[in-house]
Amino acid sequence: MAARVAPAQVQAKHQSLHHLVAKADWSDEAVLRVVRQQVLPTIERHGAIRAWIIDDTAFPKKGTHSVGVARQYCGQLGKQDNCQVAVSLSVTNDHASLPIAYRLYLPQAWANDPDRRRRVGVPDDVTFQTKPQIALGQIKSALQAGMSAAAVLMDAGYGVDTGLRDGITELGLCYVAGIQSSTGVWVPGTAPKPPKRWSGNGRPPKLIRRDAARKPISAKELALSLPKQQWHRVTWREGSNTKLTSRFTAVRVRPAHRDYNRTSPRPEEWCLIEWPKGEAEPTKYWLSTLPADVPLRDLVDLAKLRWRIERDYQELKQELGLGHYEGRGWRGFHHHATLTIAAYGFLITERSAIPPSAAPMFKTPALPNGYRPRGSPYPT
Would the pTM count as exceeding 0.85?
Answer: yes
What average pLDDT does the structure give for the chain? 91
- Residue 380's pLDDT band (cuts 50, 70, 90): low
pLDDT for 371 equals 75
Q: Which of the pair, 203 or 355, is modelled with greater confidence?
A: 203
Position 356 confidence tier, pLDDT thresholds 50, 70, 90: low
Pairwise CA distance, residues 257 & 192, whole Å: 12
What tens digit of pLDDT does each residue of 49-67 get?
A: 999 999 999 999 988 999 9
The angle at the Cα of 61, spanning 56 to 67, to the nearest 5 degrees, equals 70
Confidence at residue 379, expressed as pLDDT on a 0 to 100 scale: 61
- Does residue 358 register a pLDDT over 80? no
pLDDT above 80 (res 6) = no
CA dist 96 and 100 (Å) reads 13
pLDDT above 90 (res 339): yes
Lowest mean pLDDT among 277-281, 301-305, 366-370: 366-370
pLDDT confidence band for 30 (50 / 70 / 90): very high
In the chain, pLDDT over 70 holds for what percent of residues?
96
Q: What is the pLDDT of residues 262-291, one digit of tens each?
A: 999 999 999 999 999 999 999 999 999 999
Q: For residue 227, what pLDDT is reported?
A: 95
> Percentage of the chain with pLDDT > 90?
73
CA distance to 28, 93, 350, 356, per residue, from 359 (Å): 33, 18, 13, 7
The mean pLDDT of 353-379, rounded to a whole number, is 67
Q: What is the pLDDT of residues 118-159, one digit of tens each?
A: 999 999 999 999 999 999 999 999 999 999 999 999 999 999
Judge whether 104 and 68 are in contact, CB under 8 Å: yes
